Structure 1
Amino acid sequence: MEYTERLTGYIASNDSYKNSDIIIIGVPMDYTVSYRPGSRSGPQQIRTVSYGIEEFSFYCQKDLRDYSFYDAGDISLPFGNVSQSLNIISKVAGQIIKDNKFPIYLGGEHLITWPIVNEYSNNYPELALLHFDAHADLRKDYLGEENSHATVIRKICEKIGGKNVYQFGIRSGDKEEFEYAKNNTNMYINEVLDPLKEIITKLKNRPVYITIDIDVVDPAFAPGTGTPEPGGCTSKEILDAVLLMKDLNVVGIDVVEVSPMNDHSDRTALLAAKLVREIILNYQK
C-alpha cells in the first residue's frame, strides 16, 4: 500500500493485500497528546505481543489461521506535522474504502479517528459513530488548537451530526463538554454494556464506525495509555462490547491510545491485541 511501511505483522496475517478482506493499518501519531506521549509505539507493540495470545478464540470457536487478513504495517507520517499527517491518513482511508476492504486501524492518539471518519462519512451518508472512551473529547479547541485528541469527537459531531454519535464509558471532561453532550450527542456516562445493548437494536441497518480509546478500560486493567482515568470498565466488559457489536453493519474500527512506554507489563497492548483478534474473527461478513 502507498504511504505504509511493514515491519512485524500481527499474528497469522498473510502477505496478500489483494486477497484479504480485512486490513490492519497502524497509525503511529501522538503529536497532540496533552499528558503522556508514547502511543505512536502502540501499533507495533500490539503486533509484537499478539504472538503471546492464541490464534484460536474460545469465545467464538474460530481460528485466525482459517482467515485471510493482511497487516499493511504503519502509515509513514511526517513527524510533528499534524495537518499533513491528517491528510495522509485521509488518503489511506480513502484507498481502503475504494478497495472495499474492512479496516482495523491501530493508534496512535485519538485524533487519527477524525480524518478516517471524515472519509467514511463522505461514502456512507447515514454513518453512525460508536465511541468508547473515558473522555468526552468534545472540546471546541484545546489551548487554542482545534486539531487535538481532545477535540476529535466534537469535529466528528460537526461533520455527521451529534445525534449520530453514541458515547459509552465517559467519565471525564470539562463542564462545557458535558453540556454540549446533553444537547447534541447520545452520551452514557460511566456505562458501556447496558446502553450498548439498547442502541444495537436501533442501528442494525445503518453503517457504523467504531472507535475504541483503550482508556475506556480502568487503568487497573489498561494502565498503558496517555491519559488514564480511574473508574472505567473491565477488560472483560470491553471484550463483551466488541462481541455484542459483531452483527452490526460495521464499516471500520479503530483501537487507539495504547502507550507501551507507560505499561511495562504489556497488559494494555495484550488487551488491544485480543480485541483485534475478536474483531477479525467476528466482523467478517
Structure 2
Amino acid sequence: MKELMVNNLSFIGSKKTYDEADIVLVGVPLDLTVSFIPGTRWGPSAIRTVSEVLEEYSPTLDKDLREKNYYDWGDVELPLGNVSQSLQRIEEVARKIVLDGKKPVFIGGEHLVTLPLVKVMAERHPGLAVLQFDAHADLRQEYLGQEYSHATVMWHVNQIIGRENLYQLGIRSGTREEFAYARENTRFYPEMVLEPLDDIVKNLQGRPVYVTLDIDVVDPAYAPGTSTPEPGGCTSTEILAAVKKLNELNIIGFDLVEVCPLNDPTRHTAILAAKIIREALLGWY
C-alpha cells in the first residue's frame, strides 16, 4: 500500500504514524475531467501549506487539534491521464482505511474522487446517506461523451446509495434535465445551504452519513480559487455554520474538493478549506 502514497506535506496537528491514528487524512489530487479551469491537483498541497496559518484551537467549538488523534497519510499517487486506474487506486486506499477501522478525510482534487469513496463507504455502511454541498448538480449521465466526469459524479453516487438518500444543498447550476431528475430522485434544496439543515439533521439521526463539500458551494467572492466558479453562493460564515450544524450526525467520512489554487493568488480559498477541515475534524469525529 505504501507504494500508492506520496507524503511531502502534513495538515496542521498531524500525528506521527498511521497505526496510532483514529482518523486518517488523505490527499486525492485527481485533475483529469475538470471542465473549465484545471489545477485541482494542487488543491491538497495548497490546503496543507496554508493550514499552518490557522490555530489548532477552535474557539467556536472550544476544542483543539492537539487533542485529536489523526494522521495525514499524504497523497494517493495517481497515473496522469488514466481515469479508471486513478479511481481504482483511490478506492484501494479508502478501503484500507475503512477496513482498518479508521475514519477518513479526503482532500481533492476534482469532484470525481467522491465516486470511489462513496462506493467503499456504502459497502461498509448499509443505509448510507450522502450530503452534497455544491454549486452544481453533477447529475449528468455523461458529459462530452465521458461517462466518468466531475459533471456526472453525483448521478453515479445516486445509483450506488439509492433514490432519495442523496441530499443536495446549495445547487444553483445545472441543465433543465438535471434539475428535473433531482426533484424526482434526490432530496433537493437548490440555492439553500443553512435553511434545510435543522430538518435534515433530525431526519438523519442514527444513520451513517458521508459528506462531500465542493468549495464552489461558497460564492466566488469568498472562494474564487475553484475550477468552475458560480456566482450566488453562500458566504464563508454560512458554510462554517453549516459544518457546525452537522456535529450531531454520525459522519463516517468526508471529502472537500475542487480547490484550484492557481485561480486564487490570495490563498483565501485554500485557507477557508483548511478551516472547514479543522472544524470538521474537531466537530464531526
Q: TM-score range by the shorter chain?
A: over 0.9
- Provide, for residues 185-239 of structure 1, a one-character-per-residue CA deviation record: whole Å limited to 9, x for no partner: 1110100111111111000110000000000000000000000000000011111
Equivalent position of 1:123 in the other structure: 124
**Distance in 2, Cα, partners of 1:162 & 1:133:** 19
Equivalent position of 1:243 in the other structure: 244
**Distance in 2, Cα, partners of 1:121 & 1:56:** 33
**Distance in 1, Cα, partners of 2:33 & 2:167:** 24
**Distance in 1, Cα, partners of 2:247 & 2:107:** 19
Q: Which 4+ residue blocks in structure 1 deviate beyond 2 angstroms?
A: none
How does 1:166-185 map onto structure 2 within 5 Å? 166-185=167-186
How does 1:238-277 map onto structure 2 within 5 Å? 238-277=239-278
Equivalent position of 2:76 in the other structure: 75
**Distance in 2, Cα, partners of 1:206 & 1:179:** 27
Letter in 1 for 2:124: N
**Distance in 2, Cα, partners of 1:103 & 1:275:** 15
Matched, 1:202 2:203: yes
Offset of residue 19 of structure 1: 1.0
Letter in 2 for 1:220: A
Offset of residue 271 of structure 1: 0.3
**Distance in 1, Cα, partners of 2:74 & 2:84:** 21
Equivalent position of 2:153 in the other structure: 152
Letter in 1 for 2:203: K
How does 1:5-84 map onto structure 2 within 5 Å? 5-84=6-85
Root mean square deviation of aligned Cα: 0.8
Greater shift in the superposed pair: 265-274 or 56-65? 56-65
Greater shift in the superposed pair: 35-44 or 156-165? 156-165
Equivalent position of 1:165 in the other structure: 166
Letter in 2 for 1:221: Y
Offset of residue 162 of structure 1: 2.8
Letter in 2 for 1:155: H
**Distance in 1, Cα, partners of 2:54 & 2:121:** 31
The gaps in structure 2 that reach 5 residues or longer are: none
Offset of residue 66 of structure 1: 2.1
Q: Equivalent residue of 1:163, what SS?
A: coil
**Distance in 1, Cα, partners of 2:199 & 2:160:** 25
**Distance in 1, Cα, partners of 2:115 & 2:232:** 26
Letter in 1 for 2:122: S
Equivalent position of 2:115 in the other structure: 114
Aligned residues: 284
Letter in 1 for 2:257: V
**Distance in 1, Cα, partners of 2:68 & 2:228:** 35
The gaps in structure 1 that reach 5 residues or longer are: none
Letter in 2 for 1:144: G
**Distance in 2, Cα, partners of 1:179 & 1:120:** 27
Q: Equivalent residue of 2:17, what SS?
A: coil
Q: Equivalent residue of 1:146, what SS?
A: coil
**Distance in 2, Cα, partners of 1:125 & 1:153:** 18
**Distance in 1, Cα, partners of 2:64 & 2:159:** 40
Letter in 1 for 2:261: P
Letter in 1 for 2:232: G
TM-score by length of 2: 0.98
**Distance in 2, Cα, partners of 1:238 & 1:100:** 29
**Distance in 2, Cα, partners of 1:5 & 1:181:** 38
Equivalent position of 1:87 in the other structure: 88
